[in-house]
Amino acid sequence: MKNKKFKGISTTTLHTANKENDNFSHTTPIYATSTFTFDSTNEGMERFLGKDKTRIYSRWGNPTFVAAEKTIEALEAHGLTNEKGEPLELKALLHSSGQAAMSTLFLSNLSAGDTLVSHFSLYGGTQELMQKILAEAGIKTILMDVRDLKSLEKTIQENTGIKLIHLETPANPTLQCVDIEAICTLSHKHGIKVSVDNTVATPYLQQPFALGADFVFHSATKFLNGHGSALNGVLLGKDLAFMQAKVWKWHVLLGGNSNAFDSYLLIQGMKTLEIRMDRHCSNAAKVAAFLDKHPAIEKVNYTGLASHPDHAIAKKQMKQHAPLISFELKGGIEAGKKFIDALEVCTRAVSLGTVDTLVSHPASMTHYGIPREERIKYGITDGLIRMSVGIENFEDLESDLTQALAKI
Ligand SMILES: *Cc1c(COP(=O)(O)O)cnc(C)c1O
């Protein structure tokens, strides 16, 4: 299937996934099947030998997964060209979760004896995967402040086994941002590949392939799905031969495939990505401004505030500031607990990127598995509260925050 290129993001998310069926269904059918039939042994052999192995066995691929993959490829490649000036072609592989896609990314690029470098502020699950699973497989991880390019270059020169630099920008939950383009230029000079976790920004706000990235990762569970209705992860690459020969093999043999129902929910969710993000982003700017001038609040982390240390990088590489905020109350952890318990509109839950506002406490929830001294060093203090700003009417968020802050 040749995908049309559309001028806008919403047209892309509405019209890319729609052709994976032959029964005139308006929405993408849920192909609830483990296997696919062959009319003859010859046809079976042809499908096995062919390039497209998505109609053989669902661990290898399935038309519903393909429809979601095509949409995400179109989003990450939107408006971009390759070195020859042709539209950029990407390969996306849909996984059962972000963690599954991340496992495929790391294990297909690294083997025992290799080293991975990453910025020290990371999603908790990513850091645990590096330090608990990769470490046992003989893959070393160096966590450092990669915003310091001089010290990154020194690290590269001193460690010959570095094969991959993994970036998460903006990082969850500190909102620290790293300069994707500068790091790609430096890494490529040393023959090192770069992967970018684009979960918090989404392809609507930031396109890492335009800045030189080799791989892009999403927990599609978050803003891409947008409604908190399913888990999915996606790994995209621009080296199509490497994706087909190597990454696909790891994906299929590790068994991290998605399922048709969650893929369907993702496809439906992505249709409103652009209009959701515009509202998420404008609400987040208003919430951050409100929190920033509130007397009970010590500090607000939001890349849209000029006081955020990475404000300039965020502005340079994102179209708008991502709708994730974290903040600390002057009263520390006790005040934080009272505040969270007093909320009446915002939802108390981990995860992010759902249409409603989610509030969580990283130290006791998402980053519980990271040793205390370590997480404090990375900016995840005991009293830090994280807010994924939803698309509610701002007036309701403002009155909820006002009443909850009055109770601490
Ligand atoms: C949630 C998340 C992940 C992990 O994704 P799952 O879908 O939960 O497996 C990875 N990175 C970031 C930034 C996330 O927010």
Residue 219 near ligand 1, beta carbon < 6 Å: yes
10 Å CB burial of residue 356 (0-12, 13-18, 19+) is: middle
Residue 168 near ligand 1, beta carbon < 6 Å: yes
One pLDDT digit (tens) per residue for the chain, 408 residues: 445 689 999 999 999 987 666 788 999 999 999 999 999 999 999 999 988 888 999 999 999 999 999 999 999 999 999 999 999 999 999 999 999 999 999 999 999 999 999 999 999 999 999 999 999 999 999 999 999 999 999 999 999 999 999 999 999 889 999 999 999 999 999 999 999 999 999 999 999 999 999 999 999 999 999 999 999 999 999 999 999 999 999 999 999 999 999 999 999 999 999 999 999 999 999 999 999 999 999 999 999 999 999 999 999 999 999 999 999 999 988 899 999 999 999 999 999 999 999 999 888 887 888 888 888 888 888 889 999 999 999 999 999 999 999 999
Write down the pTM of the prediction. 0.96
Residue 98 near ligand 1, beta carbon < 6 Å: yes
Pocket test residue of 99, 219, 254, 366 for ligand 1, highest count of atoms within 8 A of CB: 219
Distance between CA 293 and CA 335 in Å, rounded? 17
What's phi and psi for 339, nearest 5 deg? -60, -50
Contacts (Cβ under 8 Å, ≥6 apart) of 145: 119, 120, 151
273-405 shares the fold of 9-270: no
DSSP SS3 for 213? coil
Q: What is the pLDDT of residue 1?
A: 41
H, E, C per residue of 37-98: CCCCHHHHHHHHHCCCCCCCECCCCCHHHHHHHHHHHHHHHCCCECCCCCECCCEEEEECCH
Residue 176 near ligand 1, beta carbon < 6 Å: no
Pocket test residue of 97, 122, 221 for ligand 1, highest count of atoms within 8 A of CB: 221
Distance between CA 20 and CA 31 in Å, rounded? 10
Ligand 1 centre from 254 Cα, in Å?
18
10 Å CB burial of residue 315 (0-12, 13-18, 19+) is: middle
CATH class, 9-270 region: alpha beta
Ligand 1 centre from 225 Cα, in Å?
12
Distance between CA 146 and CA 166 in Å, rounded? 10
First vs last Cα of the chain: how many Å apart? 57
- 254 token code pair: 């590790």
The pairs formed by 47-52 with CB atoms below 8 angstroms and a separation of 24 or more are 51/244
Domains of the chain: which residue ranges? Answer: 9-270, 273-405
Residue 331 near ligand 1, beta carbon < 6 Å: no
Ligand 1 centre from 230 Cα, in Å?
12
Q: How is domain 273-405 classified at the CATH fold level?
A: Aspartate Aminotransferase, domain 1 (3.90.1150)
Q: 360 forms bridges with which residues in the sheet?
A: 386
Ligand 1 centre from 406 Cα, in Å?
33
Contacts (Cβ under 8 Å, ≥6 apart) of 279: 391
Interhelix angle 149-158/180-189, nearest 10 degrees: 30
Ligand 1 centre from 273 Cα, in Å?
18
Task: Give catalytic residues, as residue numbers.
Answer: 59, 123, 197, 222
DSSP SS3 for 299? strand
Contact status, residue 178 vs residue 206, Cβ threshold 8 Å: no
Q: What is the pLDDT of residue 2?
A: 47
Contacts (Cβ under 8 Å, ≥6 apart) of 69: 92, 93, 94, 234
Q: What is the pLDDT of residue 20?
A: 62
